[in-house]
């Protein structure tokens, strides 16, 4: 199981997981690892141990299940992991942008690195009006808003532009890591220093 996913599971309870909880957890595991398009409802049913009718009682379609997965991914990946870990490592606002790549570096080097589910969902859907594609765009915008807040907190000029540039570096490093470059985050961190020319006050150290 992916360490990122297992790390942010809810505390173990003596109460057996409900059918919906089993569906949600199974979909999260499978969609994170294999993408949404490659995983059918029958696979989710088989791995969750619930009846197909039970799944459809909670989620009327695969698209509804995919949308729930993306919401959960934002909660666990964007908020509980990325935001929390960056802010833990870099309490000084000026250090947070570079801290992103320190967090990514450990993630990329895991054997179970699975990449960005939002980008994957975006690329899987060519229909510009598809609800899953639109949801993926919105979730990426949430990451952009988080970056913009960090940029503003650091007192950087042109926060929208700098946040967008930083997000492009982030997404590019994820793709490079997918292609096998384990040093992608470190290289992106180095290139990111060039943004100092745009007025970004970048810190030199972050807390390990």
Q: Stretch 13-21: mean pLDDT, rounded? A: 80
CA distance 100 to 122: 22
- Residue 173 maps to a domain: yes
Calculate the CA dihedral of residues 13, 79, 140, 202 and round it to 10 degrees: -150
- Residue 172 maps to a domain: yes
- Domain hosting 159: range is 70-198
- Residue 31 maps to a domain: no
pTM: 0.85
- Residue 149 maps to a domain: yes
Task: Using the predicted structure, report yes or no on whether residue 145 has a pLDDT greater than 80.
Answer: yes
pLDDT digits (tens, 9 = 90+) for 181-204: 999 999 998 887 765 555 555 654
CA distance 106 to 77: 14
CATH of the domain at 165: 1.10.357.10
Q: Stretch 143-156: mean pLDDT, rounded? A: 93
Tokens of 113: 């690195």
CA distance 174 to 177: 5
Q: Stretch 130-150: mean pLDDT, rounded? A: 97
- Residue 13 maps to a domain: no
- Residue 168 maps to a domain: yes
Res. 93 pLDDT band, cuts 50 70 90: confident
- Residue 151 maps to a domain: yes
3-state secondary structure of 201: coil
Domain count, the chain: 1
Tokens of 134: 């639109």
**pLDDT score, position 8:** 47
Tokens of 139: 């979730």
> 192, 166 in Cβ contact below 8 A?
yes
23 Cβ contact list (under 8 Å, min separation 6)? 44, 48, 50, 54, 55, 58, 59, 65
- Residue 55 maps to a domain: no
Calculate the CA dihedral of residues 54, 55, 56, 60 and round it to 10 degrees: 150
Exposure string of 61-97, with b = 16+ CB inside 10 Å and e = fewer, is ebeebbbbbbebbbebbbeebbbebbeebbeebbbbb
DSSP assignment of 82-95, as one string? Answer: IIHHHHHH--SGGG
């Amino acid at each position: 199981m992916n360490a990122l996913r297992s790390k942010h599971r809810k505390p173990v309870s003596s109460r057996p997981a409900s059918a919906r909880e089993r569906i949600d957890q199974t979909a999260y595991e499978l969609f994170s690892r294999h993408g949404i398009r490659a995983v059918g409802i029958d696979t989710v049913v088989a791995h969750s141990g619930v009846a197909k009718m039970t799944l459809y009682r909670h989620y009327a379609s695969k698209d509804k299940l995919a949308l729930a997965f993306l919401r959960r991914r934002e909660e666990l990946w964007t908020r509980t992991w990325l935001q929390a870990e960056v802010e833990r490592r870099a309490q000084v606002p000026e250090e947070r942008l570079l801290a992103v790549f320190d967090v990514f570096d450990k993630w990329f080097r895991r054997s179970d690195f699975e990449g960005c589910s939002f980008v994957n969902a975006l690329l899987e859907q060519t229909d510009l009006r598809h609800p899953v594609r639109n949801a993926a765009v919105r979730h990426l915008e949430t990451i952009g808003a988080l970056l913009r807040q960090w940029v503003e907190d650091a007192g950087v000029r042109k926060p929208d532009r700098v946040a967008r540039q930083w997000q492009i570096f982030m997404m590019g490093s994820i793709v490079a890591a997918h292609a096998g470059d384990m040093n992608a985050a470190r290289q992106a961190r180095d290139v990111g220093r060039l943004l100092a020319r745009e007025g970004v006050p970048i810190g030199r150290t972050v807390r390990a």
